[in-house]
Amino acid sequence: MADIEDILRVERIETDIYRGGAFESYLRRTFGGQVAGQALVSATQTVGDEFAVHSLHGYFLRPGNPDIPAVFLVDRIRDGRSFVTRRVTGIQDGEAIFMMSASFHVTQDEGIEHQDRMPPAPDPETLPDRIEEYGDDANAVLKEWANFDLRVVPPDQMVTSDYFAAQQRVWFRYRKPLPDDQSIHVCTLAYMSDMTLLGSSKVPHPGVEPQAASLDHAMWFMRPFRADDWLLYDQTSPSAGAGRALTQGRIFDRNGRMVAAVTQEGLSRTGRLMPADQHARTDR
């Protein structure tokens, strides 16, 4: 698998037009986190250093082809003193495959502060490394994410609440050291945030493998962090029905600081099943 720095590197081909790379993939559809990450990097290229992204909202419109590059068109919606807004459209073969709005905020603002407490979870080092656990038997998705260390908290080590319909927790990090540039860590987390989240909707339905696809994805970034250090992804799925599942995630660093929040709706059809290695990038 290519390094995340290569995956997130985009080429400027004209003013506000960028091209992401295509990389050898185990998946039949481009991983959604790759498209979102490249789109966010493209938007960031058009914003001054005094701004940092604080939120993004994206829609997966069509399945991407991992064998060809995607082109990203950036629209400069607004340039304000405190906030900057960009809209990005990802295109392959003349068709939009992804659309994102991203908002950037000046980094020196101040205000009130509070956050949720991080839920209890075992130390990530005490949990099995899934790549080492499965070895050559790892499926296409795990092989695609070989540069990422993902460790799922077992159900018998979860402290849960009866008020939530579905809960899942995952420790994750990028395995290799990353530069200190915070924008690299933010864009890497945008890539990582699409990992495992939709799976939280399957927790109450053991043995059921619905046709799954990310439909839309939103993120909020609260505090600086490192994507090459352990982050706890606390995931819930408050509702599923009519072939769609809503999922939510709170991301904490190892010191208990809440660094990001994610909401995603995904396809969760039953009756039309697909191989898991397609990772849900299906024609809808």
Is residue 56 one of the residues assigned to a domain?
yes
Whole-structure pTM value: 0.93
Of the two residues 132 and 272, the one the predictor is more confident about is 132
Q: Give me the pLDDT at residue 134, please.
A: 62
pLDDT tens per residue, range 112-152: 999 999 999 999 999 999 877 665 556 788 888 999 999 99
Using the predicted structure, report yes or no on whether residue 282 has a pLDDT greater than 50: no
**3-state percent helix, strand, coil for the chain, nearest multiple of 5:** 20, 40, 45
pLDDT tens per residue, range 254-271: 999 999 999 999 999 997
Query: Poorest-confidence range of 71-80, 109-118, 137-146, 165-174?
Result: 137-146
Using the predicted structure, report yes or no on whether residue 184 has a pLDDT greater than 70: yes
Distance separating alpha carbons of residues 15 and 23, to the nearest angstrom: 24
Rounded mean pLDDT, 32-52: 97
We report the CATH number of the domain holding residue 57 as 2.40.160.210
What burial class does residue 176 get, using C-beta atoms within 10 Å of its C-beta: 0-12 exposed, 13-18 middle, 19+ buried?
Answer: exposed
Distance separating alpha carbons of residues 265 and 90, to the nearest angstrom: 19
Q: Give me the pLDDT at residue 276, please.
A: 45
Q: Give me the pLDDT at residue 257, please.
A: 98
Q: Where in the sequence numbering do the catalytic residues fall?
A: 194, 214, 264
Is residue 284 one of the residues assigned to a domain?
no
Q: Give me the pLDDT at residue 137, please.
A: 53
Q: Give me the pLDDT at residue 131, please.
A: 75
Structural domain including 13 reads 4-107+121-278
Is residue 116 one of the residues assigned to a domain?
no
Q: How many domains does the chain have?
A: 1
Distance separating alpha carbons of residues 55 and 115, to the nearest angstrom: 17
Q: Residue 74 CB: number of other CB atoms within 10 A?
A: 22
